[in-house]
């Protein structure tokens, strides 16, 4: 699982989408479900004032995955899965899904969370997708996320990010996940995804200007903003014992709208974007 007049309109649309949504790859493990109160043998939470003194458990997962390096990539490329999760005492590790990005929760009110985040999108070289296309540098995308768990098994999430390098556009993801789990013994999740972006983003990845058309023979194409992909993502984790676990992740996206109609994507036949990976996890404890 990397362009302007219409950009304010798209930015406003994305912001409204985030606010109107019941807000709650390398997969991320920072998104916390409703916190469970775990009892000590004496029947109370082991806390000193507002500080939780229970031992901290840390799970590190490493493994390979194959995924497109950038939107519209026609090859699955090898990259690492690096996932770190933290929990206290017997609390289950928090849930995260492929494509969530790297996030920091600053607001946590009951079932609602929000905070800053970022993602990194790979670069497109001039010889990719048949050659002759403009290079797009690696894109750093800082932004914000918000999510809510309306019930224990359902997570709703939205984010908005801005490329400060590479495509320099706005992008947003709307997500819903069904999450079934038995503590940390096993977890399975599955849910749909919708990706939206502004005109600058789509011009960078899917547009064909006059110079590119002359070099490649492709028809000129000037995409506008809007939804550019729909898909689904899933994750499964099974504990082998108290310390070792295995994880499988997968994601599918289908380029739609102007992105799917782009001559670049048509030539490469890359409307379907697929990712898959496996990882081995090890859990250790810090503290008493």
The pLDDT value recorded for residue 50 is 62
pLDDT digits (tens, 9 = 90+) for 6-25: 444 444 443 434 334 333 33
Residues 6+ apart with CB under 8 A from 246: 237, 238, 240, 278, 279, 280, 281
Q: Where are the domains of the chain?
A: 56-286
**CB within 8 A of 48, min separation 6: which ones?**
none
Could you tell me if residue 130 is left (phi over 0), alpha (psi between -120 and 50 degrees) or otherwise beta?
left
User: Within the chain, where are the H helices?
Assistant: 7-20, 199-206, 210-216, 257-261, 263-268
Please list, in sequence order, all residues whose beta carbon lies within 8 angstroms of the beta carbon of residue 42, skipping any fewer than 6 positions away.
none
Any bridge partners for residue 113, and if so which?
108, 147
Query: Do β-strands 77-88 and 47-48 pair in parallel, antiparallel, or remain unpaired?
Result: unpaired
* Angle ∠(148,152,153) on CA atoms, nearest 5: 95
Please give the chain's pLDDT, 288 residues, in tens.
Answer: 344 344 444 444 434 343 343 333 344 444 445 444 433 333 334 444 567 788 999 999 999 999 999 999 999 999 999 999 999 988 999 999 989 999 999 999 999 999 999 999 999 999 999 999 999 999 999 999 999 999 999 999 999 999 999 999 999 999 999 999 999 999 999 999 999 999 999 999 999 999 999 999 999 999 999 999 999 999 999 999 999 999 999 999 999 999 999 999 999 999 999 999 999 999 999 976
Distance CA 177, CA 95 (A): 10
In angstroms, rounded to a whole number, what is the distance separating the alpha carbons of residues 92 and 179?
13
Encode 115-157 in three state secondary structure.
EEEEEEECCECCCHHHCCCCCECCEEEEEEEEEEEEECCEEEE
Q: Can you name the CATH fold of 56-286? A: Porin (2.40.160)
What backbone torsions phi and psi does residue 133 show, to the nearest 5 degrees? -90, 155
Q: What is the pLDDT of residue 53?
A: 83
């Amino acid at each position: 699982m990397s362009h302007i007049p219409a950009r304010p309109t798209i930015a406003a649309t994305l912001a409204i989408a985030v606010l109107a949504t019941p807000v709650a790859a390398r997969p991320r493990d920072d998104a916390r479900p409703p916190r469970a109160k775990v009892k000590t043998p004496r029947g109370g939470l082991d806390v000193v004032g507002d500080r939780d003194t229970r031992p901290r458990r840390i799970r590190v997962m490493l493994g390979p995955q194959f995924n497109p390096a950038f939107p519209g990539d026609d090859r699955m490329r090898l990259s690492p899965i690096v996932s770190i999760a933290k929990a206290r005492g017997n609390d289950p590790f928090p849930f995260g899904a492929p494509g969530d990005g790297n996030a920091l929760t600053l607001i946590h009110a009951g079932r609602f969370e929000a905070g800053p985040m970022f993602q990194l999108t790979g670069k497109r070289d001039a010889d990719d997708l048949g050659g002759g296309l403009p290079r797009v540098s690696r894109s750093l995308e800082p932004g914000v996320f918000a999510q809510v768990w309306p019930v224990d098994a359902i997570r709703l999430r939205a984010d908005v990010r801005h490329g400060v390098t590479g495509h320099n556009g706005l992008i947003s993801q709307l997500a819903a996940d069904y999450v079934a789990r038995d503590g940390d013994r096993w977890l399975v999740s599955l849910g749909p995804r919708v990706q939206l972006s502004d005109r600058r983003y789509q011009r960078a990845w899917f547009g064909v200007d006059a110079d590119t058309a002359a070099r490649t023979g492709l028809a000129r194409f000037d995409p506008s903003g809007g939804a550019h992909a729909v898909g689904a993502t899933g994750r499964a984790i099974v504990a082998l014992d108290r310390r070792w676990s295995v994880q499988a992740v997968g994601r599918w996206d289908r380029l739609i709208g102007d992105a799917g109609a782009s001559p670049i994507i048509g030539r490469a036949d890359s409307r379907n974007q697929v990712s898959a990976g496996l990882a081995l996890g090890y859990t250790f404890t810090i503290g008493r």
